[in-house]
Amino acid sequence: MSDPTRDPRGRSGGHGDAAEFARLHGAITDERIRALFPFRFLAANETFARLVDATAHRILASIGALPPTTGVTVQQAKRDLSIPWRRTVPLRFMYEKLSDSGVLDRLDGRYFTGAVPVGDFDTVAVELAEQEPGAAVAPEILRTLVDGAERFFRGEASGEEILFAPDKLELWPRYFSNDNPLYAINNTVGAEAVSRLVPADGGAFEVLEIGGGCGSAAEQVLRSLGSRVTRYRFTEVAETFARIGEQVAREAAAPSTEVESERLDMTKPWAEQGVGPGTFDVVYSVNCFHVAPDLDFVVAEAAKALKPGGAVVVSECLRPTKLARPIHAEIIFDFLDSFTDVVTDPVRRPTHGFLTPAAWRATFEAAGLGEVVVLPDVDAVAEVYPDFVVGAVVARATT
What is the DSSP track for 291-350?
Answer: G-SSHHHHHHHHHHTEEEEEEEEEEEE---TTT----TTHHHHTT-HHHH----BTTTBS
Query: Does 157 share its domain with 204?
Result: no
pLDDT at 16 (0 to 100): 57
Asked whether residue 257 falls in the same domain as residue 359, the answer is yes
Is residue 270 located within the same domain as residue 160?
no
> Domain end: 175, 210, 234, which one?
175
Residue 9 is assigned to a structural domain of this protein:
no
* Domain interval for residue 189: 182-397
Is residue 215 domain-shared with residue 330, that is, in the same domain?
A: yes
Which sign does the torsion angle of CA 148, 166, 182, 360 carry? positive
In a domain, 186, yes or no: yes
Q: Is residue 53 part of a domain?
A: yes
**Spatial separation of the C-alpha atoms in residues 89 and 334, rounded to whole Å:** 6
For residue 17, what pLDDT is reported?
76
99 and 33 within one domain: yes
Is 307 a member of any domain? yes
Spatial CB neighbours of 398, under 8 Å, sequence gap ≥ 6 = 368, 369, 370, 371
pLDDT, residue 60, reads 97
- 110 and 249 assigned to the same domain: no
Q: How many residues does the chain have?
A: 399
Q: Which of 147, 175, 203 is the last residue of a domain?
A: 175
Q: Are residues 168 and 209 in the same domain?
A: no
* pLDDT at 14 (0 to 100): 43
pLDDT value of position 9? 39
133: preceding bond cis by omega (within 30 degrees):
no
In a domain, 78, yes or no: yes
Residues 239, 227 contacting (CB under 8 angstroms):
no
Count: domains in the chain: 2
CATH number for the domain that contains residue 203 = 3.40.50.150
Sorted by sequence, the CB contacts under 8 Å of residue 98 that are 6+ apart come out as 53, 56, 57, 60, 104, 111, 114, 118
**pLDDT value of residue 172:** 94
Q: Which of 118, 162, 117 is nearest to 140 (CA)?
A: 162
Pair (27, 169) in one structural domain: yes
Same domain for 205 and 136?
no
Domain assignment present for residue 10? The answer is no
Beta bridge partners, 286, equal 315
Question: Same domain for 96 and 194?
Answer: no
Tens of each residue's pLDDT in the chain, 399 residues: 333 333 433 343 444 578 888 888 899 999 999 999 999 888 999 999 999 999 999 999 999 999 999 999 999 999 999 999 889 999 999 999 999 999 999 999 999 999 999 999 999 999 999 999 999 999 999 999 999 999 999 999 999 999 999 999 999 999 999 999 999 999 999 999 999 999 988 889 999 999 999 999 999 999 999 999 999 999 999 988 999 999 999 999 999 999 999 999 999 999 999 999 999 999 999 999 999 999 999 999 999 999 999 999 999 999 998 877 788 889 999 999 988 888 989 999 998 889 999 999 999 999 999 999 999 999 999 998 888 899 999 999 986
Distance (Å, whole) CA 5 – CA 21: 19
DSSP string, 71-95: -B-HHHHHHHTT--GGGHHHHHHHH
Q: Are residues 167 and 203 in the same domain?
A: no
Domain for residue 1, yes or no? no
Does residue 37 fall inside a structural domain?
yes
pTM, rounded to two decimals: 0.92
For residue 305, the model assigns a pLDDT of 98
Please tell me whether residues 353 and 240 are part of one structural domain: yes
Residue 393's pLDDT is 98
By C-alpha distance, which of 179, 168, 173, 163 is closest to 331? 163
SS (H, E, C) 197-219: CCCCCCCCCEEEECCCCCCHHHH
Q: Given 159, 175, 191, which residue is the final one in a domain?
A: 175
Q: Is 249 helix (H, G, I), strand (E, B) or coil?
A: helix
